[in-house]
């Protein structure tokens, strides 16, 4: 796999990446026979949105990107994403609050969520786990690992047929 953009960082960094519900997804690129999935990328940084979007698009995934949690809630029913990547600290509506609203709505409750954030404190990770997020990655992250997690969730955690 070729990842043209690198956010930097080290996959080996402590707490750089945590997963919840490990059995829900596999690791690795999608195969040619699999139908591409839809991903909703939510981050207030245009650079990070583009970094995530480009790397997921290279895997054949369809990506919609928005700037905050409120915008995500505004488009989630039209986009019908198979996975949502979500920053925590954003204007209007933050990531944790967005997850709470997604989980409280039966139409969006089962969509897998990957938190991608600079907040690596234990309390933040625990809050994400308590809210039912499927994976928690901290910035800086390795694009290849993000792609592996999202692709795995698209394959096995697809909320929409």
Instruction: Kindly report the CATH number assigned to the domain that includes residue 75.
Output: 3.40.50.2300
Say if 29 falls within a structural domain: no
Non-local (6+) Cβ contacts of 158 within 8 A are 37, 82
- Mean pLDDT in residue range 98-125: 95
Position 15 scores a pLDDT of 34
Distance CA 50, CA 54 (A): 6
What's the total number of domains in the chain? 1
Say if 116 falls within a structural domain: yes
Say if 129 falls within a structural domain: yes
Non-local (6+) Cβ contacts of 117 within 8 A are 87, 88, 89, 95, 124, 136, 137, 138, 139
Say if 61 falls within a structural domain: yes
Higher pLDDT, 157 or 22: 157
- Taking residue 156's Cβ as centre, other Cβ atoms within 10 Å add up to 12
Domain that holds residue 47: 17-23+36-156
Say if 2 falls within a structural domain: no
pLDDT one-digit tens code per residue, 14-45: 333 333 333 333 444 444 444 479 999 999 99
- Mean pLDDT in residue range 77-83: 95
Say if 118 falls within a structural domain: yes
């Amino acid at each position: 796999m070729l990842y043209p953009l690198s956010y930097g960082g080290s996959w080996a960094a402590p707490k750089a990446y945590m997963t919840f519900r490990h059995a829900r997804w596999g690791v690795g690129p999608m195969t040619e026979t699999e139908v591409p999935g839809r991903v909703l990328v939510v981050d207030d940084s245009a650079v990070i949105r583009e970094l995530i979007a480009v790397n997921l698009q290279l895997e054949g995934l369809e990506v919609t990107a928005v700037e905050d949690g409120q915008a995500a809630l505004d488009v989630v029913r039209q986009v019908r994403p198979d996975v949502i990547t979500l920053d925590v600290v954003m204007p209007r509506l933050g990531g944790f609050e967005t997850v709470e609203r997604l989980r409280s709505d039966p139409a969006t409750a089962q969509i897998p969520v990957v938190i991608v954030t600079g907040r690596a404190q234990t309390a933040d990770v625990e809050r994400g786990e308590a809210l039912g997020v499927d994976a928690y990655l901290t910035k800086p992250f390795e694009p290849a690992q993000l792609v592996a997690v999202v692709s795995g969730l698209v394959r096995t955690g697809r909320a929409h047929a």
